[in-house]
């Protein structure tokens, strides 16, 4: 009987801070998929105004790093946990005001 392959492959990546090896499941070629990281978390950033390194004016992807759980614990006092991100706002350049888009 042929052994079935899992619907994902495991790849080795590194913690951004300590360089520890982290295993990650990759199940598609879609770069927008957030693939699980064992014993770590993936962080994505789309850049922002003010950065001299990554500030794409148009949609030009994102930067991604992985950080292991141990480094998250060590730096926990520097981490802000944001809740209630249901409300979205849209900036309107014409008026210079924010418009609530609702939940
Ligand atoms: Zn680490």
Q: How far is the CA of 14 from the centre of ligand 1 (A)?
A: 8
**Residues 13/66, Cβ–Cβ less than 8 Å:** yes
Q: What is the mean pLDDT of the chain?
A: 83
Q: How far is the CA of 26 from the centre of ligand 1 (A)?
A: 20
Q: Is residue 66 very low, low, confident or very high in pLDDT (cuts 50, 70, 90)?
A: very high
Q: How far is the CA of 35 from the centre of ligand 1 (A)?
A: 18
On the CB side of 4, CA atoms within 13 Å amount to 3
Q: How far is the CA of 28 from the centre of ligand 1 (A)?
A: 25
Task: Name the DSSP letter for residue 37.
Answer: B
Question: Is 88 a residue whose pLDDT tops 70?
Answer: no
């Amino acid at each position: 009987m042929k052994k079935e392959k899992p619907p994902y492959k495991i790849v080795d990546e590194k913690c951004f801070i300590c360089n520890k090896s982290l295993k990650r499941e990759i199940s598609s070629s879609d770069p927008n998929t957030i693939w699980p990281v064992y014993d770590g978390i993936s962080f994505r950033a789309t850049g922002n105004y003010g950065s001299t390194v990554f500030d794409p004016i148009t949609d030009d992807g994102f930067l991604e790093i992985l950080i292991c759980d141990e480094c998250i614990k060590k730096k926990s006092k520097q981490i802000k946990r944001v809740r209630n991100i249901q409300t979205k706002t849209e900036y309107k350049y014409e008026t210079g005001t924010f418009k609530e888009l609702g939940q």
